[in-house]
Amino acid sequence: MHHFHYSNGQLYCEGVAVAAIAAKVGTPFYLYSHATLQHHFQVFDRAFGETPHLVCFAVKSNSNLAILRIFINQGGGVDIVSGGELFRALRAGVAPGKVVYSGVGKRPDEIRYALEQGILMFNIESPQELQVLNQAAGQMGRRARIALRVNPDVDPQTHPYISTGLKQNKFGIDIDRSVAEYLIAKQLPHLEIVGVACHIGSQLTQLSPFIETLGRLKELIARLRREDIQIRYLDIGGGLGIQYNEETPPHPVEYGRSIIQELQGLDCTLILEPGRVLVGNAGILVTKVLFTKQTEAKYFIIADAAMNDLARPSLYGSYHGIQPVVEKDRREVTASLVGPICESGDFLAKDRLMPAFDPGELVAVMSAGAYGFTMSSNYNSRPRVPEILVHKNEFYVIRQRETYEDLIRGEEIPICLTGG
């Protein structure tokens, strides 16, 4: 569910008209609903009831400080994949003991930074990383808490770019090899084994891949305990999908019930890493139509938002609903909603039936709260757009629109090119 709705023909976010925000801040911009974000976290968290668990929001899906603070205020932790994400989460107020650090390519400086902060645990993704972390912890006089991220070779039945649990994926350690690696880790003096971690992919719309994965993880934990390796945390990652179009993903309550039932008697604290399911439908991208263009082959609606603002359609061929900000009687056309980027792959919706927008009209690109701004760029030297948060009847600019000066900050013309 979300708090975007029409009233008297106007699209509202909670109690604020989207058009009124556009008049104040210009277009394009990302717009988030505080009520939706808070509700989604609470529903997800409550789905696990009294089962010991920690909800660690996947920062990569939406890393704005204000968004992070909403989840932190609800008692959540974070799942990070870089030193920059750790910096953001700490600045937003997260307790270091609620941070888990995943990712296949942790740099030495990032590892040291996380060790200094005292995070909950590192999810180790390769044998070499195990050795590097042990060495870094020893040099700092610390013990690093770890889990091995295992790859269970389970097909998540999602887009191949966001599948992470198959043998051919770069993530994790093959589950059949993991016991041997745990035994190596057990002998390393500066590591403390505390968990098992796994994440099989994103935008999953069926429960069966989760359940199949849990079966393999239970077998692994039983084998580890026979080796006197005690597992306190089971990090099952995230990946629960949302409805972009006609998908019918499980409700978080159904998801939680199934997981709890499957893990009965395991005696581990669950770590959950939801991202998209918390923020995806809580945000939209608002853009303005610049021109319409009819060619012999196609009809184009050209907007001021582009693939640098929302990369998912170009990258994954993903679907986002296209809605008018102001409703009126109008015909529908089969069209492509495209942006100003000099790439034929620059589109927000391709060859779809949609309203016949006129120049100057506002368009809402729905379900854009996850992997929207975080994947945006300055391609074609386009300043990144602002992010706006609505709370009840007020809106707040939680990221300013970039300026042309922002585009060249940090760049220099060396003296050898100045004629001096």
Catalytic residues: 342
Query: Residues 152, 199: contact at Cβ < 8 Å?
Result: no
239 annotated ligand binder: yes
255 annotated ligand binder: no
343 annotated ligand binder: yes
274 annotated ligand binder: yes
Give residue for tokens 């902060």: 117
Query: Residues 103, 81: contact at Cβ < 8 Å?
Result: yes
Phi and psi torsions of 300, nearest 5°: -115, 140
371 annotated ligand binder: yes
384 annotated ligand binder: no
Cβ atoms < 10 Å from Cβ of 250:
18
Rounded Cα–Cα distance for residues 299 and 289 (Å): 14
276 annotated ligand binder: yes
50 annotated ligand binder: no
Query: Residues 111, 133: contact at Cβ < 8 Å?
Result: yes
Rounded Cα–Cα distance for residues 402 and 404 (Å): 7
Q: Does residue 313 have a cis peptide bond before it, meaning omega lies within 30 degrees of 0?
A: no
**Quick one: which of 258, 231, 44 has its CA closest to 147?**
231
HSE value, Cβ hemisphere, 13 Å, CA-based, for 25: 26
49 annotated ligand binder: no
CA angle centred on 91, ends 89 and 97, rounded to 5°:
50
Known binding residues are 239, 273-276, 312, 316, 343, 371
Known binding residues for substrate are 276, 312, 316, 343, 371
Known binding residues for pyridoxal 5'-phosphate are 239, 273-276, 371
